[in-house]
Amino acid sequence: MPVWALLPVTWIPWTAILFAVNLASGDSLLPAFELAAVGGVVLAVATTLPLKFRWRAERRALGEATQTDRTAAIRAARTGPVPADPEVRAGALRLAQTDLQRPQRWRPWMAVAGLVFVAGQIGLAFSSPWSLSRSGARRPVVRLLVVRLPKRPRTRIALLSEPQEPVLRTQ
């Protein structure tokens, strides 16, 4: 699905949800819709772009595979069983390697975002001391995303890279 079609499909539900929340909080119609429209665009872009990047990575890794092979390779690259077909297995290995490279490319940006987050928390600590306790709930999530995310693709790559007996493919 092209971005120009996917963007409105995600923008409309986000805008409707934000509009309902703004109305429930007591805003009048026009300010509620203005905030919802801007927030809907931001959330639609934040939803659409990762989907498009993921679909493009799958298309590059799997090429012109059939839908059954594509589904098996995507499942194998994430958590599913290792496929017996060598072509599907190679596609799953390429996809798992792409999944490993993505966080490594974003690691410098995540470090900058982490520094901005820490600086903001320090600033909030000087203005209101209770805000530090609130950020304690987010620290494990940030640590999980930054530190532990690449472990699953490495495990899948090791599993998909193991040699296997050749299997003849029937048409």
Q: What is the pLDDT along the chain (171 residues), one digit of tens a residue?
A: 777 788 888 889 989 998 898 888 887 888 888 888 888 888 888 888 888 888 888 888 888 888 888 888 888 888 878 888 888 888 888 888 888 887 777 778 878 888 888 887 777 777 765 545 555 545 555 555 555 555 677 777 887 887 766 555 555
Residue 57 sits in the same domain as residue 100? no
User: Which distant-in-sequence residues (6+ apart) come within 8 Å of 146 by Cβ?
Assistant: 107, 110, 114
Q: Considering 62, 88, 112, which residue would you say is the last residue of a domain? A: 62
Q: Please give the pLDDT value at position 10.
A: 86
**Position 87 in a domain:** yes
Residue 46 sits in the same domain as residue 8? yes
**Position 168 in a domain:** no
Q: Please give the pLDDT value at position 4.
A: 78
Residue 149 sits in the same domain as residue 76? yes
Q: Please give the pLDDT value at position 151.
A: 61
Residue 24 sits in the same domain as residue 51? yes
Instruction: Please count the structural domains in the chain.
Output: 2
**Position 76 in a domain:** yes
Note down the domain range covering 159: 64-163
Closest-CA residue to 58 (of 83, 44, 76, 43): 76
Residue 86 sits in the same domain as residue 123? yes
**Position 3 in a domain:** yes
Q: Please give the pLDDT value at position 77.
A: 84
Residue 89 sits in the same domain as residue 5? no
Residue 57 sits in the same domain as residue 80? no
Residue 5 sits in the same domain as residue 44? yes
The DSSP string of the chain is --HHHHHHHHHHHHHHHHHHHHHHTT--HHHHHHHHHHHHHHHHHHHHHHHHHHHHHHHHHH-S--HHHHHHHHHHHHTSPPPSSHHHHHHHHHHHHHHHHHHHHHHHHHHHHHHHHHHHHHHHHHH-TTHHHHHTTTHHHHHIIIIITTHHHHHHHHHHHS-----PPP-
Q: How far is CA 64 from the centre of its chain?
A: 24
Q: Please give the pLDDT value at position 169.
A: 56
Residue 79 sits in the same domain as residue 100? yes
Residue 40 sits in the same domain as residue 57? yes
**Position 144 in a domain:** yes
